[in-house]
Chain A
Amino acid sequence: MMKMFHLVLKEMKIRLKYKFVWVNMALTPFFIIGPYVFSSKIADVNSLAESVLIGALLWYWLNQYFFGVGDGFTEEREEGALISVVLAPVSLLTFLFSKAIDTFLMNLYITFFTLLFFALCGINLEIHPYFFLLLVVSGVYITFFSIFFAALSLWKKRIRSINSATQFFFGILSGMVNPVENFPSYVRLVSYMIPLTYLISIGRNMIKHGSTSGFVPQLLVLTCLSFFYLILGIWLLKRAENEIRRKGEWETW
């Protein structure tokens, strides 16, 4: 645990060196999510805007995890320090979890400012007591999904070239704007393979009904699916590690 703490500390210390990044992090999500949310507002139905806001916000969380965790190896490799981490007595999985904790803290910061800016624009999310629990659950389960992506991109480096496209693909298919129930059945099949779909659905129900009705079955499916990705990710990670040790490609990308 202490080793992970030091890795998180390292992330935070480096981030603190870039003062303007904090301004960027506070503003960017609002500008990215804004068009989706304000377009919904045109329909003059507040609940629709709120529904899109929760979907888009959770999608933004996934984005951050895909950059923070999914791209974790690449980021470290480009910095040049991946080799130091690899040589340290921490597993690649521990390293990814430290990236996940850092991303979670950043996401809390981002969420606070995003909700504040939308509130100032007249779009308020009614914060249910379970909302924070939803954020924690999202953090954990999207981390599992991102670990799978990180392992995949460590194994096949070219996959990271489509990181951004993948994020938008997941965003649309998980019902960020348009609920998945409105998709054709074959598209829905793909949607139900994405953990974000369940998180958005749970989040929307929470905001819409102010309760956790229908929460448990979706959470169960989400849990099974997320653990499936985690196990697959760990297996891939080990495979990628051995492949790189065989080829000696720790420093190439």
Chain B
Amino acid sequence: MKRVVEVSGVRKSFGKLRVLDKVDFYAERGDFKVIAGENGSGKSTLLKIMIGLLLPDEGEVRVLGIDVKRHWKKLSEKIGVALANERSLYWKLTAWENLDIFGGIYGVPKKIRRKRMEELLERFDLLEHKDKPVEEFSTGMRKKLMICKALTHSPEVLFIDEVLNGLDPPSVREVVDYLSELSKNGLTVIMISHILHVLPEDSDVALLKDGRIQMEVKYRDISSKKSEVYEVFENLIKGRDTNDEDVPSGSEGDEDKA
């Protein structure tokens, strides 16, 4: 299958701090990939490099065949991005106005835009709040609206950074289910998240640690505490030596940590 996201040999440092060290990462059409890792492991840096907000010190980044380092604006029409910052919406404007403005900026024709906006707002239970200013929204509602905003122009790849944080459990499920449905229909989803317990079974989870992707596994392999991969994954998160024979095979609450 054709790769839609290709990151190869990416290095990035901020001053003396090396955040990414020869990272390779790929995604194909319809993939649902999750990048996990501790705070400060470089997940957001990697995502920002993939969408063009950040330039890598070394390495190549291509999304949908476009050289992101050089033509990031050309790429922007084809991707959707929802970053962690809730303020990336215009709080004085209503939900409808936000989507309408951004849909217009992304060049979506009025008729198609309005229909799409209605569908998305309905899907995320926001339709009845469409005329409320975003400043009156709860955190969860804003996060859902940010996803709507990222999807208004029907992108081919969706990048999401920590958007599940702040959502209540039913909303997390609702968002993940919808994204999973979209990925089955061909949308490539690249998501950064600490919330790993509700991911689609066939999604891939990449663990970023010490500036590198340490392992990439199917979610179904780590969703069970009994699996060998789970143990390795857990140890990597905790920073233990994976060859250490004393490593316990799982303890209470581990599933939440995964």
Contacts and interface: CB of A to CB of B under 8 A. Distances in A.
A2 B107 contact: yes
Interface in A3-21: 3, 5-7, 9-10, 13-14, 17-18
B81 interface: yes
B106 A89 contact: yes
Nearest to A247: B14
Contacts, number: 81
Size category of the B interface is 20 to 34
8 contacts: A2-B107, A6-B105, A9-B104, A13-B101, A17-B93, A80-B86, A89-B105, A245-B54
B88 A91 contact: no
B104 A81 contact: no
A6 B104 contact: yes
A153 B83 CA distance: 25
Interface residues of A, number: 29
Interface of A: 2-3, 5-7, 9-10, 13-14, 17-18, 79-81, 83-84, 86-91, 242, 245-248, 250-251
Contact of B90 (A81, A90, A251): A81
A80 B91 CA distance: 9
B45 interface: yes
Contacts of B55: 242, 245-246
B52 A81 contact: no
A3 B102 contact: no
Interface in B48-71: 48, 51-55
B101 A248 contact: no
Nearest to B135: A17
A17 B81 contact: no
B87 A79 contact: yes
A13 B93 contact: yes
A88 B106 contact: yes
Nearest to A91: B73
Interface in B28-80: 45, 48, 51-55, 72-74, 76-77
A87 B85 contact: no
Contacts of A7: 101, 105
Contacts of A14: 90, 92-93
Interface in B198-245: none
Contacts of A2: 104, 107
A84 B54 contact: no
Nearest to A90: B105
Nearest to A245: B55
Contacts of B102: 84, 88
B70 to A, nearest CB: 11
A79 B104 contact: no
B97 interface: yes
Contacts of B48: 248
B89 interface: yes
Given A89-B73, A89-B105, A89-B107, A79 B53 contact: no
A242 to B, nearest CB: 7
A89 B87 CA distance: 19
Contacts of A242: 55
A1 to B, nearest CB: 11
Nearest to A83: B88
A185 to B, nearest CB: 46
A177 B86 CA distance: 46
Contacts of B14: 247-248
B93 A10 contact: yes
Contact of B76 (A88, A246, A251): A88
B73 to A, nearest CB: 6
